Chain A
Amino acid sequence: MSEYAIETEGLTKVFRGAWSKRELLAVDNISLRVPAGTTYGLLGPNGAGKTTFVKMLLSCTHPTGGHARVFGRDTQDADSRRPIGYLPENHRFPTYMTGWGMLDFYSALSGIDTAVRRKRIPEMLELVGLDDRAHHLRLGKYSKGMLQRVGLAQALMHEPRLLILDEPSDGVDPVGRKQIRDVLQNLEQKGVTIFLNSHLLAEVELFCHEVAIIQRGKLALSGTVDDLTHGSGYRVESVNVPERLQTELRAASRAATSANGTLQLLYATREDANRAVDLLRAGHCEIEALARTKSTLEEVFMKTVEGDKA
């Protein structure tokens, strides 16, 4: 079995108009490896090519160039989709189906036999927090949050080894989000690879170990969340710092704030932070906190996206 859940090499998609010669390069030569068992976030601004990339993994969209493999199998092979559970972003589940009927239909397409389906449907509906009343209610009567939950249940029915989720918590209330996150964390512990496409950067940062940022169809950045947000500076906090010393400390700092007698200073390098500590100790000031600061994923994202625009 391949050590990578997803492998792409030079994956490219060019959309061409049926009658015109106009071309749109949606995905540009993306090579990406998602190790099996990891939680991976795919980020990018609207229109960056994320959804096209995901659709090529599922063979909904045919690549113009390059190729993609799922657990070592070429995505052109229908069997490559057997270990995948997928929740699309703008899904349109048939409204005439009930929650039960929908899970029954899609899991039958995944090849699960009737007895197993009957056993697993109530388990899955319960897992995503849909009560008995929802089981036989038509999807047309479901709220957006309920549709997301039943969509997630659908993706989990056949016990996938790779879960591809496009905005899974879209329209879900905070309690539901927490519930979905718990479900995903439980799956992660069982070794399921989770590939998350989300605009909620805080959610991705909280949940994913690795991320890739796509910008204008190209892979702009990829790596572990820890590496990408690691060590952007140092924070020093002190109390009752005399005015004269404050001026000296502020001059060398990258940023400084003062509130309720506490001075917070940000330094770009360890040397600057140490020098500030020395000055504070020499001035008999108490050190309240000394810590390495991290960038948020949002900062990394914005830097990448805006840097690319520049």
Chain B
Amino acid sequence: MTATLALIRDTFREAFARRIFWGFFGCCTALLVFLVFILRIDVVEGALATVSIFGNRLPTTNVQNLVQQTQSVIAMVLYFAGMALSVFASAGLVAAMFEQGRIELLLSKPVSRAHLLLGRYAGNVLVVSANIFYLVAGSWAIFGMKTGIWGAGYLVSGLCTIFVFSVLLAVIVLVGVLWDSAAVAIMVTFAIMILTPILAQKATLERLLSSEWSRDIVRVLYYALPKISDISVIIRHLILNQPIQSWMPVWSTGLFGAAVLALGVWKFQRRSF
């Protein structure tokens, strides 16, 4: 436990030193300040009286709908833009661990390689989770206090974002173990992030493709790779209190992440430094 805590604390310290943590924290705080001071929502006896941004009144609609739509926008920005930034920042944190002169000292300690790698992985997930939780829980509380609407779907969306980030981090870890390169890790992860929304249009692609083997490739890639786009739809449904058609994108993405992380640990254990 001492070693695990030390690895997590070290990842936080490095994130602080690289200004990664504070960069995220600053962005999240700016958004929260915006919600507290700029967005004014006046509710009179459960009905929306006025909504104003920068003092300009906006057309009023149903209060719950407005809150859910706003939360949905924040969740999507966090999910795609926040995730891309997190990947960008985390790739350096993982690759730094494999630097020559640093890895030897880590490996000389009486800690298994799997423990070292998973400790770093957990620390990295926690760095990003802390900021996501800060933004989601903070904005959820602000909306709740301003409108009295405390829907849990928005909080669950934060967990989904952390979950997908942890899957992408597994890819970063595997690429880091294989090539020691933050740049390659970013490229591979971004390629997955770009490819999966295209694969999400599986039905359309299958119609457009002429040969069976190319349709098979699309199917294999769709089921094998994380379903980032499909999970974004699930997040929207959660926030808008709409029924979820299938949880398959979540569990298959989880399986992908677990497999990639296991492969990363296995390669790390076999590698000579």
**Contacts from A to B (Cβ < 8 Å):** 13, 15, 55, 58-62, 78-82, 84, 86, 88, 90-94, 96-97, 101, 104-106, 108-114, 154, 164
Contacts and interface: CB of A to CB of B under 8 A. Distances in A.
Interface string B134-174: 00000000000000000000000000000000000000000
The secondary structure that dominates the B interface is helix
Contacts of A164: 108
A182 B136 CA distance: 57
Given A61-B273, A92-B100, A96-B17, A109 B3 contact: yes
B109 A109 contact: yes
19 contacts: A58-B107, A60-B273, A62-B270, A80-B110, A81-B109, A86-B104, A86-B105, A86-B108, A88-B108, A91-B101, A91-B102, A96-B16, A96-B18, A97-B13, A105-B6, A105-B9, A109-B106, A111-B3, A154-B105
Contacts of B106: 109
A62 B10 CA distance: 27
Nearest to B97: A94
Interface string B5-17: 1110110011011
B13 A101 contact: yes
B101 A92 contact: yes
A82 B14 contact: no
Nearest to A57: B108
Output the residue of B6, B96, B104 with the most chain A CB within 10 A: B104
B2 A55 contact: no
B107 A111 contact: no
Given A78-B110, A92-B101, A60 B272 contact: yes
A60 B111 contact: no
Contact of B109 (A62, A88, A106): A106
Interface in B48-68: none
B216 interface: no
A108 B13 contact: no
B112 A78 contact: yes
A191 to B, nearest CB: 20
A43 B16 CA distance: 42
A108 B9 CA distance: 11
A96 B3 contact: no
Contact of A92 (B17, B18, B99, B111): B99
B103 interface: yes
A84 B273 CA distance: 18
Contact of A106 (B14, B105, B273): B105
A55 to B, nearest CB: 7
B1 to A, nearest CB: 10
Contact of A90 (B10, B101, B273): B101
Given A13-B272, A60-B273, A91-B105, 7 more contacts: A60-B107, A78-B110, A94-B102, A97-B13, A108-B5, A113-B2, A164-B108
Contact of B101 (A13, A81, A82, A88): A88
Given A60-B273, A61-B273, A81-B110, A108 B102 contact: no
Output the residue of B18, B108, B110, B112 with the most chain A CB within 10 A: B108
Contacts of A104: 6
A58 B14 contact: no
A138 B3 CA distance: 22
Contacts of B18: 96
Nearest to B273: A60
B147 to A, nearest CB: 42
A154 B106 CA distance: 12
B17 A109 contact: no
A111 B2 contact: yes
Contacts of B101: 88, 90-92
Nearest to A97: B13
Contacts of B104: 55, 58, 60, 86, 88, 91
Given A86-B108, A92-B99, A55 B273 contact: yes
